[in-house]
Amino acid sequence: MAFSPQKLLDVLQTLPVPEQYWVAFSGGMDSTVLLHGLAMIRPELPAPLMAIHINHGLQVKALEWEMFCRETCARLDIPLTNLQLNLRPASGESLEAQARDARYAAIAARMNPQDMLLTAHHGDDQVETFLLQLLRGAGISGLASMPLIRDWQTGWLARPLLEYSREALLDWARKEELQWQDDPSNERLNIRRNYLRHKVIPLLKDQWPGLINTTARSARHCAEAANLMREVGTADMALVWDEGKPWQMMISGLEVLSLQRQKNLLRYWIRHQGLPVPGHRVIERILSEVMQAQQAGSPLLSWNSAEIRRYRGRLYLMPTLPEPPSEEVRLHWDGSRPLKLPEGLGRLLVRTGMDWLSEGVDVVFRSESLKCRPGKGKSNRSFKGLCQELSIPPWLRQRLPLIYRNDELIAVADYCMCQPETGKSPFIWERPEWLQ
């Protein structure tokens, strides 16, 4: 299908009306076509048009590309924002992935609510993405590839060129005598996407000329199936959800589902909580090892900065926990302002009217040989026994702020007071939801 600015406008008119359009402008052929096409229809756009360029600092000609983008936008009278990145990938980390994540994070920081980011991904990019996901063994969410539009940050991310091939965009660019910058890294065949682009996809197009359209159709089918699975996941959450505890799942509700729906629900839950969804092997281990663990056990399974545990008939999902605070930590506190706790454990506050606290207390994390009598008429409890009585999971016990006055334990976080103190704990432990 031939490209034209009018057809671009037709696509944009099917999308929500933003407060502002932002064009991701790299200076390459694809984004140059998008920018010029938008410039030609600017009087008919329902919102102002801006461009944004990211200098990744990875190419020798990065400053030359930046200057090209400045000159192009000045000529088109389109306001341009230039951002500079300082990428330092860790050992084993993909530079391409880090650059992509950093680029989107930088752009998001500049956008306002209800803004729309427009990228120049086209039909050939869609084919590459679909094949990459297929060869990685992705599920239907991965095979859905890139949608025309999706919610992003507090606005939208749209790809209005997905219906067009690279050849169609190149034809229009040449017809309009446009100038652009070529990225030499696109020729490196050790990058898998480039290998598909230069070695595999041309052969596929020879045999299947309609490759872009048929791949797009398959991606749409996968997207519909993925949406259906999300709907099923939403409905199934009602069986396992404990109101106010989104990081916990009741195993009794999970067990009534078929194996396929159990797997789907775990993926849905993990994705909904903003953690990386693990591969099928980890999902199977959650079901076989964590769910089926002995009641007295406290199994742990970790993956990609996330982990899942079991305690008393529940699964507990959380980001990877840092090490517990050292037993040597001792924080003196007079309650006049919130006390920041170490290792991301939040902070301690105190309710009003606690004048005695001005004398100061000490907050520690050492529980060895600790005893507490949690109320009148109750006997001393060992720390382990007290935690069991209060249903405090094992991984939280080493992270509990223990409050001492004159070297005497008076409170276990905000769970209970210890004799001689009585009544409701005056302390409030504000902490991440996954530590509730």
Residue 329 has φ and ψ, to the nearest 5°, of -65, 130
| pTM for the structure as a whole | 0.80
**DSSP string of 384-399, one letter each residue:** HHHHHHTT--HHHHTT
398-419, pLDDT tens digit by residue? 899 999 988 888 888 888 888 8
Q: For position 189, what pLDDT does the model report?
A: 86
Closest CA to 39 of 189, 229, 178, 211: 178
pLDDT of residue 90: 58
Is residue 30 part of an annotated ligand binding site?
yes
Question: Which residue's structure tokens are 């992509």?
Answer: 100
CB atoms within 10 A of CB 38: 22
> Does 29 count as an annotated binding residue?
yes
Closest CA to 375 of 424, 320, 313, 315: 424
The owner of tokens 């600017």 is 42
At 198-229, the pLDDT tens digits run 899 999 999 999 999 999 999 999 999 999 99
Q: What is the pLDDT of residue 226?
A: 93
One digit per residue, pLDDT tens: the chain, 436 residues?
899 999 999 999 999 999 999 999 999 999 999 999 999 999 999 999 999 998 876 666 778 889 999 999 999 999 999 988 776 655 555 667 777 778 888 898 899 999 999 999 999 999 999 999 999 988 888 999 899 999 998 999 999 999 999 999 999 999 999 999 988 777 778 888 889 998 999 999 999 999 999 999 999 999 999 999 999 999 999 889 887 899 999 999 999 999 999 999 999 999 999 999 999 999 999 999 998 877 666 799 999 899 999 998 899 999 999 899 988 899 998 888 899 999 999 999 888 666 667 788 899 997 777 888 877 667 788 888 888 888 889 999 889 999 998 888 888 888 888 887 777 788 899 999 988 8
The one-letter amino acid code at 48 reads P
Residues found in the chain = 436
| Distance from C-alpha of 281 to C-alpha of 264, rounded to nearest angstrom | 13
| pLDDT number for residue 89 | 57
Does 27 carry a binding-site annotation?
yes
Predicted confidence at residue 336, as pLDDT, reads 84
- What pLDDT, on a 0 to 100 scale, did the predictor assign at position 187? 76
Annotated binding-site residue? 28: yes
User: CB neighbours of 227 closer than 8 A, spacing ≥ 6?
Assistant: none
Q: How far apart are CA 18 and CA 276, in angstroms?
A: 29
Strand partners, 347: 340, 430
Whether 51 and 77 have beta carbons less than 8 Å apart is answered as no
329 contact partners, CB below 8 Å, separation of at least 6: 342, 364, 365
pLDDT score at 184: 77
How many whole angstroms separate alpha carbon 79 and alpha carbon 261? 49
The pLDDT of residue 347 = 93
What pLDDT score does 350 carry?
86
Q: Which residue ranges form the domains of the chain, and what is each CATH number?
A: 5-223 (3.40.50.620), 239-319 (1.20.59.20), 329-435 (no CATH)
Picking from 263, 260, 255, 264, the residue whose alpha carbon sits closest to that of residue 229 is 264
